[in-house]
Amino acid sequence: MEKPRLPISGTCRCGRVEIEISAPPIMTAACHCRGCQRMSASAYSLTVMIPGQAFRVTKGEPVKGGIKGPQLDHYCCPSCMTWMFTRIAGVDDFVNVRPTMFDDMPWNRPFIETMTADKLSWVETPARHRYEGFPPVEEFPQLLEEFARSL
Ligand SMILES: [Zn+2]
Ligand SMILES: [Zn+2]
């Protein structure tokens, strides 16, 4: 995979909110759950998991949208309502960022796909690992290591 120059910045649809990442993702994913289908208005959502300290909002003030907690906080532009990133309650190791916010995002290819139980019947992704739900916690270290090697 080609290595882009960091940081990379991205914006919502209207440009009022800008975000920036300064490190490569620790994992990339496609999620087929019904919530992601609804929020992305598409077949599935795409995620790049960015280390918490390597992600920042550089312009504007995102507001909570989606389910508004308690476990997940979906952040959206207050004007165009684009769903830009998600924080998991109590977790600051990483932020789930939507790679489609970035013009130049070499890491938008999903390495894993989750919630295939809800997958639309015609959908196929190039993900290397598929899960009907979410990957078991005990598989995570190996997945992260395998992903890091693939970068
Ligand atoms: Zn916007
Ligand atoms: Zn989902």
Q: Is residue 97 part of a domain?
A: yes
Task: For residue 37, give the ligand nearest its CA.
Answer: 2
Angle at 13 between CA 11 and CA 17, to 5 degrees: 40
Give the Å distance between the CA of 83 and the centre of ligand 1.
9
8 A C-beta contact, residue 28 and residue 99 = yes
Cα separation, 135 vs 101, in Å, equals 25
Give the Å distance between the CA of 129 and the centre of ligand 2.
16
Task: For residue 110, give the ligand nearest its CA.
Answer: 2
Residue 134 has a pLDDT of 95
Range of the domain at 117: 8-144
**The domain that contains 27 carries what CATH number?**
3.90.1590.10
Residue 2 has a pLDDT of 61
- Closest CA relative to residue 78, chosen from 34, 17, 35: 17
Give the Å distance between the CA of 33 and the centre of ligand 2.
4
Work out the average pLDDT over 18-38: 97
Task: For residue 86, give the ligand nearest its CA.
Answer: 2
Amino acid at 96: N
- The model's pTM is 0.94
Q: What is the mean pLDDT of the chain?
A: 95
Split into its structural domains, the chain has a count of 1
Confidence class for position 86, pLDDT limits 50, 70, 90: very high
